[in-house]
Structure 1
Amino acid sequence: MARFARGMNIDYRMLAPSAREMDLDYRMSALSARGMYLDYRMPILSARGMYLDYSMLAPSAREMDLDYRMPALSACGMDLDYRMPILSARGMNLD
């Protein structure tokens, strides 16, 4: 099953969202998007202007703000919630 919206392909079998510069490798469960790598423990992610259902473990959008029920990621300034797995982005490593 796949859901298509604004160029985003959601593969429910892998919970793998992929968009132009965002590919999920189900073998490593690694999200690669413009130099940003999320830990496999973070199956939730987002893409520009797209809001996905919480039941799909896939949250929100443009500035990569995730729902309060999930680990919080803020792309601008890279402010991470303490619950967030390791993020490596553009030379910045956060635990």
Structure 2
Amino acid sequence: MLTGKQTRYLRSMAHHLKPIFQVGKGGVNGHLITHINEALEVRELIKITVLNNSGADRNEVGAQLAEEAQAELVQVIGKIIILYKESREHKTIVLP
């Protein structure tokens, strides 16, 4: 569980990142979760875009992605979801 200070810090770091995944009509599936886990291990902090044709609620998609990837949901703003998961081998982010 992230504190408010840690969440603000991660949001500021994520501001300049570009989304690397998109959730579309297919929704959340095992293949997407596998790739998200791999990306989180390398990057620790990622952005995901929820496309308009998805039809799912963005907050629900964010919560589902965080739960299935065992990551922390940093923020859902507009159509962007920010996830954080501490890396075991490639730790680069030091939380305050």
TM tier, smaller: under 0.3
Q: Which structure has the highest helix share of the two?
A: 2
Structure with larger RCO (C-alpha < 8 A, sep 6+): 2
Higher strand share: 1
Q: What TM-score, normalized to structure 2?
A: 0.26
Q: TM-score, normalised by structure 1?
A: 0.26
